[in-house]
Amino acid sequence: MTLRQTWLAEGRAAVPADAVEPELWEDIAAEAEQCERVAVVRHNQRPGLLVMRDGSITSPQRCTVHPGGPALGALARNKVLADIAAEATGQVRMTPIRYGYKFYDVGDYMHVHRDDGKCDITFSCGLTEALGPMSWLPRMRSLTTAQVADQLAQTPYPPDGEEFPILARQMTGFDGRRIPHWRTPLDAQSREVLITICFSDLSVKP
């Protein structure tokens, strides 16, 4: 299948392993270490799912976050990512609107949710090696936000979810705005780092 066909059928978009130079990954790793020292704890303990006006769904989570610096910004501006985002989604002018580091310690988690409504495609990867796969529910992609929230209100980690591999230092795109996804508590005995980059089409539409 073409990239566009895979996106329409499965809600994912592969990124070539060589899309990012090894030197940039080293710069990002060094930057992440510096950013972690001033990162902010994100610990939302409000129970259940909260439906937002933009169509996103927020839920309880615990991790530490930082928006990143020049190195992560360079990754977000990678032309290969922009081209893949445009080809997969069929949008015109894809621009990174949000990106950052998420630092996970033992026990940190993210309940089932949907991404920001402005995010046409989310790219993600592990900066470290031991970050396990994400879980998601592609079968719920076509449901409304209200339907998703109603069905998953009491299930922070749905038992019938599918694994979505999070590769180390290799980005993968997915439809996080529509497909519910989550991360169970980290059981690795080390801190792990997740990178996320969201793209949106900022072109003016009639």
Contacts of 22 (CB under 8 A, 6+ apart): none
Three-state DSSP state, 181: strand
Residue 5 pLDDT greater than 80, yes or no: yes
Residue 206, pLDDT score? 45
- pLDDT tens for 154-197 read 899 999 999 999 999 999 999 999 999 999 999 988 899 999 99
- pLDDT tens for 82-113 read 999 999 999 988 999 999 999 999 999 999 99
CA distance 203 to 206: 10
The Cα-based distances of 106 to 47, 59, 109, 112 in angstroms read 21, 19, 9, 19
Residue 205 pLDDT greater than 60, yes or no: no
Smallest CA-to-CA distance from 84 within 200, 173, 187 is with 173
- pLDDT tens for 8-55 read 999 999 999 999 999 999 999 999 999 999 999 999 998 889 999 999
- pLDDT tens for 165-174 read 999 999 999 9
CA distance 42 to 102: 9
Query: Partners of 168 in the beta sheet?
Result: 126
CA distance 201 to 24: 25
Amino acid letter for position 183? R
CA distance 175 to 78: 19
Residue 204 pLDDT greater than 70, yes or no: no
